């Protein structure tokens, strides 16, 4: 649904929040057109377990995962992401 929403709103930035927990989740949403991805639950868990240090650790883990996944995709900037990076068994054409 995300690509349809992005197309429907034109130049309005699309922010998404719905259970994102991993760097790969963030990259997928950005590749499909989201302008911003909210991530809360992992930081809530980290705060509950280890307070401020836990949140810092969770942020570091997420940053490192996103950087590693970008390297695996062969990109150096999030602006390079697009729907061509998304594989779908039904065919990638539905995302364009």
Residue 64 within any structural domain of the chain: yes
Is 16 in contact with 36 (CB distance < 8 Å)?
yes
Q: Output DSSP code: residue 83.
A: G
Residue 29 within any structural domain of the chain: yes
Q: What is the pTM of this model?
A: 0.83
The CA distances from residue 89 to 17, 23, 92, 94, 95, in Å, are 25, 22, 8, 11, 12
**Number of domains observed in the structure of the chain:** 1
Residue 90 within any structural domain of the chain: no
DSSP 16-55: E-SS--SHHHHHHHHHTT-SEE---HHHHHHHHHHHHHHH
Strand partners, 16: 37
Residue 93 within any structural domain of the chain: no
- The residue segments making up the domain with residue 70 are 2-6+13-83
Residue 60 within any structural domain of the chain: yes
Residue 95 within any structural domain of the chain: no
Q: Over the stretch 66-96, which tens digit does the pLDDT of each residue have?
A: 999 999 999 999 999 998 888 655 555 555 5
């Amino acid at each position: 649904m995300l690509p349809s929403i992005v197309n429907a709103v034109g130049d309005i930035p699309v922010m998404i929040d719905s259970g994102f927990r991993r760097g790969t989740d963030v990259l997928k949403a950005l590749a499909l057109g989201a302008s911003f991805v909210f991530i809360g639950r992992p930081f809530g868990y980290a705060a509950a377990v280890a307070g401020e240090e836990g949140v810092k650790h969770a942020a570091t883990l997420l940053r490192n995962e996103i950087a590693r996944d970008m390297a695996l995709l062969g990109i150096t900037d999030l602006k390079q992401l697009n729907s061509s990076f998304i594989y779908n068994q039904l065919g990638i054409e539905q995302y364009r």
